Amino acid sequence: MEGGLEISARELDDEDSNQFMVFQINNASEGKTILEASEVAPHFPGSDAQPDMYLSIEMQSFHLAQSEQVDKNTRATMRLVVGKDKSSRDRAFDDVFWTVSAGLDLYNKWTKQKAKPDELKADFNKALGNRPIEVAGGLANMQFEVVKHSEPKWWQRIFGFLRSDAGRSLTSVVGFPAITSSAIQVLDELFNRLDRSDAQPLFKSRPMILALSEQAKLDYSGGISRIKVGCMNPGFCVFARRRDYHAIANADALYYPHLGILAPSSASPADVASGNFDNPLADITYAVFKVNMIPTKLELRFNFGGRIA
């Protein structure tokens, strides 16, 4: 294989094989269609005037592998945590994170079938009160986890499905902007309350470092060419599991937002729309996110008795 990481799923244990990876759909018409994060060249150069980044993330679709069994009680709980990495040269905001938790109803009870990928979308920006994720120094630390499970009694109350879209939405999101690591430990109880005998991790998460600018990449690597830093740009990203690395990285694929799926570029739009084609990515679980970012310079602001200093 040319470029990227050589990973064999047979060499990984279950936890490692479920570890999430970030891929970027290539913005350029030439070259590979989907790039692993370490193959991405940062779009923003970064500067002392604007070393930081405002970041927003929207889940466009969630594709569940064809072989994953789903019945009327099958649900999933997702968690995304984003903050600045502690290795950033900017020591401010070391203990501040943005986190969202999403409930996914994997069974559409109105159509009486497995939810379609485009039905599982989520506006993380709205959940965070339209407040952008602030990444000081442009070096992000990201965690992503999804657990498939049956529905606990408290689950609908936490995510409030009955109060959204007349109860017909298949996703619901709660967001927590600018919270500390101690607050995240409290939110971890959401996952801990799942019956572990019933829960099946679809994505497992260890922190992933992602540079959002060339300066952030250089700050981390020190300019050493043998240090392959993962990067993320504005555009569309695919979150997939390490076990599916080769299938995603080698796919000559196009993304169809109205269907929420990746499909081979060789398939005609008519065949993709009708489902009358052989899709090698059909049995892979992945999520597609739309990412926007703007360089900025963050300022520490403290509230003293109602005054901003």
pLDDT tens for 189-220 read: 766 666 565 788 899 888 899 999 999 999 99
Kindly write down the DSSP assignment for every residue of 52-101, as one continuous string: EEEEEEEEEEEEPPTTS---TTEEEEEEEEEEE-TTSS--TTTT-EEEEE
Least confident among 37-46, 51-60, 85-94, 160-169: 160-169
Residue 253 has pLDDT above 60, yes or no: yes
**52 contacts 134 by C-beta, under 8 angstroms:** yes
**124 contacts 56 by C-beta, under 8 angstroms:** yes
pTM, entire model: 0.87
Output the pLDDT for position 95. 72
pLDDT tens for 55-108 read: 999 999 999 999 999 999 999 999 999 998 887 666 555 678 999 999 999 999
Q: Higher model confidence: residue 170 or residue 29?
A: 170
| pLDDT, the chain, mean | 86
